[in-house]
Each structure stands twice: as structure tokens, then as C-alpha cells.
Structure 1
Amino acid sequence: MNKDKTMRERFRKAQLFFCLIAFGGLLAGCASNAPSISVDETQAFQNINSFYVKPALNSVNPTLENSIAQTIANVMTAKGLTEVSQDEADVLIGFFPFVESKDGGTRLNIGLGSGTFGRSGGISIGSVFSIPVGEQFTEYQNLQIDVTKENIFVYSASGSTKIESNDAITVQRALNELVTSLLDSYPNTKDN
């Protein structure tokens, strides 16, 4: 009887441990849409006076990319920097926009294949595909912005915004807000 009680106690502790891990994963998943920002604190940002916005690293939609570039230029100008040509710029700003779809609903996974399983291991040959049950996908527009000075990263920010509607105006507004939030932590050189 005592052995049985010890086994149940171990099983409960294991259940609690796995529940804590699952809860931690859930919290991390919820926080994953927060921007990730890194600043090189060793840089003398007060000596950075000019910038150049490079074209998107993955050109897909020139109109939206031009809007992103213009918003980056507006934010950096408001921070006290001057937009100049690439050859004259103190820093170069690159950006990489991309869309990600996350499955928010139930999926039916179907596996096809054959295999043999033995005592010491198994081999399985086949394929697996998924069929969504209902249209429950959420699209996120992701954006990476990197500021470099003499090929050294001085500021890097990435984040995402949920796309509520796929029309160009809504996406453009969401991207402009995302750019502003990603560059918000860039050190202000105006009035320094």
C-alpha cells in the first residue's frame, strides 16, 4: 500500500510539473507579439545625425514598402536626424516585412504511410498532411528594422501586428503604427 501511495504522489508531482510548463508556454505564446528591441548602448547616438533608408530586403509590394520607408524616414526625422544619400549617411536603415499565418482553430491531421515496428525501434515511411476545420487562421504582418553604422548593428527591432482586414489601406495603417512602435525606443538626437 505504501508503494502505491508513493507512486500516486510521484504521478501528481509530474502532473503539476507538466502543467506549470504548459502554463509557462502559454504565457510565452501570448507575449510573443510584443516588439523585440535591441540597442547598442556603446554607441554615441548624439553623433549620429543622418540616415538613409534602404529598399526592402524582400521586395513584394512596392507601394506598401514605399509607405514603410516613408514612415521610417518621418520617425527618424522627428528624432532629429536628416535623410541623406546612402554615401553621406551616418547610419543605414534596412527593413524586412513578411506575413505569417497562425492557425487559431482546430486542425484535422491525417497521416498516410506504412511502417514496421520492432522491439528496438521503428521505421515509418509515408506522409502527413493537415486539413483545417473551418477558416480560423489569423494573419500577422511582421517587420524587422535594423540600423547599421559602418556594418555594425546599432539598433534592431522586430515586431508584428495582427491584420484585421486584408485591404491595402488597413494593412498600410497597421504597418505605419508598427514602424512607429518599433522605432519609438531609438535614441532621440533632437535638441542634444
Structure 2
Amino acid sequence: MLIPKTPLRAARLLMVVIAALSVVVGCASNQPQINMSDEQNFDAIDTFYVQVPLNSVNPAIDDHMVTAISSVLQSRGLKPASKENADIEVGYFPTVASKEGGASVNIGLGTGVFGRSSGISLGSIFSVPVGEQVTQYQNLQIDIVKDGAFIYSAVGSVEIEAQDSITVQQELTKLVSELLQSYPVKMASVAEPE
């Protein structure tokens, strides 16, 4: 067994072990991560606009995403509106990731949606050795902005069993529902008992 000779080496070894464990635990979870602004009065929000990503490459998937997001938000009591008249702007960013031999490889290039609050994500594509088991994941981030401030943000992923467009659309629809499940229902849209 390797025993560190100095306290500094022991501390380094401990930090490496903790970092490795946190990576393993972080990769094992596919649960959505959802954050909401505590200061926002969600009941005061009536309308929304879904913004297509700046780097859009698949119009069919974009149309499907806009429809899926709109459907969920309408079920929460909101109404679609033009960008100029909407209370909130909804942005989404889908990416694909491969997990191979315990390592995660992100594939895709993307930019943020909201002006000054933007970012760039660049992944890499490389060949996978024959015989390796590769798992594909569809990742999705949904951000909701009101008056230039993020009020709701959700990120999640789902394992993709097949590569065809129909399967990807179905999985994205499920993922949209999961990510927006915590968005508050408008009190006015809840039917009151008679």
C-alpha cells in the first residue's frame, strides 16, 4: 500500500479521491436539475414566447421542441404570444452526448439564446473503437427569462435507445415534460370547485 510521506501528499491524495468520487456520482445521475427564482411571482406571468436556438440545424426538431414546450406551458395556464408581447422568453438547447467506457464525450456546438447572457459550448467528435459499448444520451437545457433575468432553469438527459428521428422526438417530448414539471401552475387556471 502506498502511504504518503508528508501531510501535503496526503492532502493531495485525499483531494484526488474526492474529485474522482464526485465525478462518478455526478455521472450516475440522470435526474433533472431544476432551479427557480424565489423572488419571482409566477402567477403574474400570463404569456410566453419560445425562442429557437441561434445554432439551429434541424428545423423539424425545432418545430417539435417549440410545440412540446408550448403544450406544457399552456397546460400550466400560460398563453403563447409574440416575442414583443410575451411576459417571458423560453430558450432551449438540445445536445447529444455519448458515454463510452465510463467516459463522457459531448458532441455538438451551441451558443446561448439571450443576448448578453450567452455562452458557447463546443464538443468534440472522434472515432469509437470497434467493439466498444457506446450509450447515446439526449441532453436538454430549458431556460426561462423575464426582463433579462433567468427565473427558471432546468437541465436533464435521457438515454436514447435508437438513433431514428421518431425516437429522438419522443424522448425529447418526455424530457420537456420532466424539465417543466416544476414550473408553477397559474392559480387562475386551476378550476375552483362549485
- When normalised by structure 1's length, the TM-score is 0.73
Deviation readout 1:79-113 (Å, 9 max, x if unpaired): 0000111111000101111111121379xxxxxxx
Question: Which letter maps to 2:190?
Answer: D
User: Matches of 2:150 and 2:164 in 1, distance apart?
Assistant: 34
8 A contact 1:58–1:96 mirrored in 2: no
User: Matches of 1:135 and 1:147 in 2, distance apart?
Assistant: 38
Q: Cα RMSD (Å) of the superposition?
A: 2.8
**Structure 1: unaligned runs, 5 residues or longer:** 1-6, 107-128
8 A contact 1:51–1:81 mirrored in 2: yes
Q: CA 1:19/1:105 → structure 2, altered by over 3 Å: closer, same or farther?
A: closer
Match of 2:28 in 1: 30
Match of 1:96 in 2: 93
Q: CA 1:50/1:136 → structure 2, altered by over 3 Å: closer, same or farther?
A: same
Q: Which has the higher strand share?
A: 1
8 A contact 1:43–1:154 mirrored in 2: yes
Match of 1:124 in 2: none
Alignment of 1:76 with 2:77, yes or no, is no
Deviation readout 1:11-44 (Å, 9 max, x if unpaired): xxx7x9677765554323212x221111001001
Match of 2:39 in 1: 42
Question: Which letter maps to 1:29?
Answer: C
User: Matches of 1:69 and 1:8 in 2, distance apart?
Assistant: 57
Question: Which letter maps to 2:27?
Answer: G
CA drift at 1:57:
3.3
8 A contact 1:104–1:138 mirrored in 2: no
- Percent identical residues: 44
Determine which structure has more spread, i.e. the larger CA radius of gyration: 1
Question: Which letter maps to 1:94?
Answer: G
CA drift at 1:59:
0.5
User: Matches of 1:90 and 1:149 in 2, distance apart?
Assistant: 7
- When normalised by structure 2's length, the TM-score is 0.72
CA drift at 1:135:
3.6
